[in-house]
Chains A and B, each alone.
Chain A
Amino acid sequence: MRAVDALMECLKAEGVEVVFGLPGGANLPTYDAFYDAGIRHILVRHEAGGGHAAEGYAKATGKVGVALGTSGPGATNLVTPICDAMMDSVPVVFLTGQVRTELLGTDGFQEADTIGITMPIVKHSMMIQHPLELPRAIHEAFHIARTGRPGPVVVDIPTDLSRADIPYEPITDVHLPGYQPTTDGNQKQIRLAAKALANARRPVIYAGGGAVGASAELRELATSDRLPVTCTVMGLGSFPASHPQWLGMLGMHGTRTANYAMDEADLIVAIGARFDDRVTAKLSEFAPHAKFIHIDIDPAEISKNVPAHIPIVGYASNILPRLTTEYRALKPDPARLEEWWHRIESWRARYPLAYSDSDDSEIKPQYMVQALFEATEGNAIVASDVGQHQMWAAQHYHFDRPRQWINSGGLGTMGFGLPAAMGAKVGRPEEMVVCITGDGSFQMNTQELATCAQNGIDVKVFVMNNGYLGMVRQWQELFWDRRYSQVHTGQYPDFVKLAEAYGATGVRLTDKHTLVEGMRQALATDGPVVVDVRVSAEENVYPMIAPGQAARDMVG
């Protein structure tokens, strides 16, 4: 059969239900195979939209996402999603078309060195050099994307090879001698960790994106005693925000309670978290009293930024249950944590996430998120874009379930939100999926509204419209003497009309008194809806650890 038909068989064997892509000259053979392969293909309007949709799908379902583009510009349009998936460890296989082999390296029409361009931002990549390699390469790509620390894998397929006639036999094994992730934590280290935890008087569990796939196990550990838990922006939902042991998010715009707890902790259990600069703030003053247990699937993360006293390499889902068992066996005295909880409760009482509400009908952005929480009864999958709205969403929408919060944390990619929401809805059609975006970010991939409208993908987009590239404006206000340089977007475009032009419903909400009701109506409307919510223009995200400061010096 044609190599591309074999490709379809491989995708089916990998359990692929849906792919996102856009055709072109170099992947015409692949698209011909899609014509009757029986795999759902969603035609996006820009490859970046397809890439982020595949990420949203992967983040919402935990399965491998698939995105396709043609050679040259199709592939370069995928660069941002590839990099985004790398930074946030999202399992996505990117299939790119390539010019025919005899044109390689000749600056052929629509030729780009896709492998070279993407080399630093992939977990792995392969260019097919012989049609017989294709099936195995596809299975290897899925295996690498899905296992260990997940990430993006690019398979670049020259168009001539994809048309080759090959004998196809299903492949059931992959053999990668250089790729053997350590998945089972070392028992001795786990025992050491349990002991340290049982002796700690001021412990904190610090959970990142790597804890999302081990949320039940995390909960077991935390509640086997009264261990306080904080999450990074990537880890939200891995521990229920409504749980009494939850301290809120930590980091630059985290709660004072979480950041102060890190600051005073004597033992920090990092789970699938990588001590990003947005979390540690001033590194030399980060958690000065703490010893660190660091649980991570990626040994290169251990002691990268902060030296780990007890490193444990493996899947959190493998390590945490064993840690819990060892910990319980030590029968730690819960009374030793009483003083610590007393301290935490006093921070909590003193520093709730507060803001001053308007005394007229003006909608404060924080209130907008609270209203959405109310209108969705806290049940929606929320995909976010990047900016102030993202931080307010993280602070005020309380996530109780893993995979309920989908955002671009590592790369901070504006334009991520809508396509990610679209991918999430495709992957979890039974769930309510909303997108919280900004007036700036939304326009970086608005074109996917057409994809949603055409395919009846029912996402509800809530634009927090402050007329600014708000997060940048905030930094200019606070740290650059209020010299607002190129951050004013005005009220352009008219998002209601834009929505209508795309075949979606457009609504504008401007009064806080009718906001929740307006949102409920939008949520009850069939098909994609864009809600243009006009909010205060110059509100700032607080609290905040200013650049160069330590956690204890939070302001606001």
Chain B
Amino acid sequence: MGEPGTKELLSLEELEAAGSFRTGRKHILSILVENKPGALTRITGLFARRGFNIDTLAVGPTDDETISRITLTLDGAVQSIDQVTKQLHKLVNVLKIRDLEPTETMARELALFKISADGGSRAEVMQVCEIFRAKIVDVSKRTLVAEVTGTQEKIDAFERLVRPFGLVEMARTGEIAIARGRAET
């Protein structure tokens, strides 16, 4: 692998071999932060600086009004996630971080789908909704809006099934998560 400062060209393969492009399993990080201006930027900036792409990000209040919970999902090799986690710990406003173990975690996402459903396809769309326990929350002549909750995978599957009917719009919250059992997240 070429060294910085030399004139060697770096090929993509070399970069790949050196781990410059990361792949790995999905991670769900749950981060408790003090409710301070700039806290979110600092956190997302840390990921950006290390070239991580955040897949989903959900921010909301906790039972303590001075503290917010940030749940974010991303792909990353374990080693480098570990490094980012340590860097996150150094942020003064960050109180707690958990890299949640998928098997011990309840993760849920909420999504709204606006689907074309005119005369012919309406019944079929409604059937799909029923199978997925999606609630129909708005209906117009040509469209209906379905509300689905579930894991990322379930929502992905729902999307695949309704897409052929004509997917007008979709909005997803990104997953939020909490540890199973008695243990605190």
Contacts and interface: CB of A to CB of B under 8 A. Distances in A.
A547 B92 contact: no
A7 B20 CA distance: 46
A300 B5 contact: no
Nearest to A281: B3
A329 interface: no
B86 A299 contact: yes
A299 B86 CA distance: 7
Interface string A173-196: 000111100000000000000000
B42 A119 contact: yes
Contacts of A129: 37
Interface string B60-91: 00000000000000000000000100110111
A115 B38 contact: yes
A464 B48 CA distance: 41
B45 interface: yes
A178 B45 contact: no
Interface in A317-364: none
Interface string A155-187: 000000000000000000000111100000000
A119 B93 CA distance: 13
Interface residues of A, number: 22
Given A479-B7, A547-B3, A548-B2, A144 B45 contact: no
A120 B49 contact: yes
Contacts of A177: 34, 95
B41 interface: yes
Contact of B34 (A178, A479, A548): A178
A482 interface: no
Given A119-B42, A299-B86, A548 B6 contact: yes
B42 A144 contact: no
A479 B89 contact: no
A178 B2 contact: no
B94 A547 contact: no
Contact of A480 (B7, B45, B92, B95): B7
Most buried by A among B89, B90, B95: B90
B45 A119 contact: yes
Contact of B94 (A178, A298, A300, A475): A178
Interface string A112-123: 000110011001
A204 B83 CA distance: 27
Interface string B1-31: 1111111000000000000000000000000
B83 A300 contact: yes
B38 A300 contact: no
Contact of B92 (A116, A178, A300): A178
A120 B91 contact: no
Contacts of A548: 1-3, 6
A226 interface: no
Contacts of B89: 299-300
A201 interface: no
A480 B93 CA distance: 47
Nearest to B93: A178
B144 interface: no
Contact of A124 (B41, B87, B92): B92
B99 to A, nearest CB: 15
Contact of A547 (B5, B83, B93): B5
B33 A479 contact: no
Contact of B90 (A115, A298, A480): A298
A127 B39 CA distance: 12
A471 to B, nearest CB: 11
Contacts of A127: 37-38
A304 B79 CA distance: 9
A437 to B, nearest CB: 23
A554 to B, nearest CB: 15
Contacts of B45: 119-120
A536 B115 CA distance: 78
B69 to A, nearest CB: 14
Contacts of A304: 83
Interface in A361-402: none
A428 B45 CA distance: 39
B86 to A, nearest CB: 4
A482 to B, nearest CB: 13
A167 B74 CA distance: 47
Contacts of B1: 548
B90 A300 contact: yes
Interface string A456-488: 000000000000000000010001100000000
Interface in B103-144: none
A54 B93 CA distance: 26
A223 B38 CA distance: 48
A543 B93 CA distance: 45
Nearest to B83: A304
Contacts of B87: 300
A299 B7 CA distance: 35
A77 B3 CA distance: 31
Nearest to B85: A300
Contacts of A479: 5-7
B35 to A, nearest CB: 11
Contacts of B92: 124, 144, 176, 178-179
A17 B156 CA distance: 62
Nearest to B4: A547
Nearest to A120: B49
Interface in A48-67: none
B14 to A, nearest CB: 12
Interface string A469-510: 000000100011000000000000000000000000000000
A123 B87 CA distance: 11
Given A298-B90, A300-B87, 15 more contacts: A119-B38, A119-B42, A120-B49, A123-B90, A177-B34, A177-B95, A178-B33, A178-B34, A178-B91, A178-B94, A299-B86, A300-B86, A479-B6, A479-B7, A548-B6
Interface of A: 115-116, 119-120, 123-124, 127, 129, 144, 176-179, 298-300, 304, 475, 479-480, 547-548
**Closest 3 pairs (CB-CB, A-B):** A547-B3, A300-B86, A548-B3
17 contacts: A115-B38, A119-B38, A124-B92, A127-B37, A176-B92, A177-B34, A178-B91, A178-B93, A178-B94, A178-B95, A299-B86, A300-B83, A300-B87, A300-B90, A479-B6, A547-B6, A548-B6
Interface of B: 1-7, 33-34, 37-38, 41-42, 45, 49, 83, 86-87, 89-95
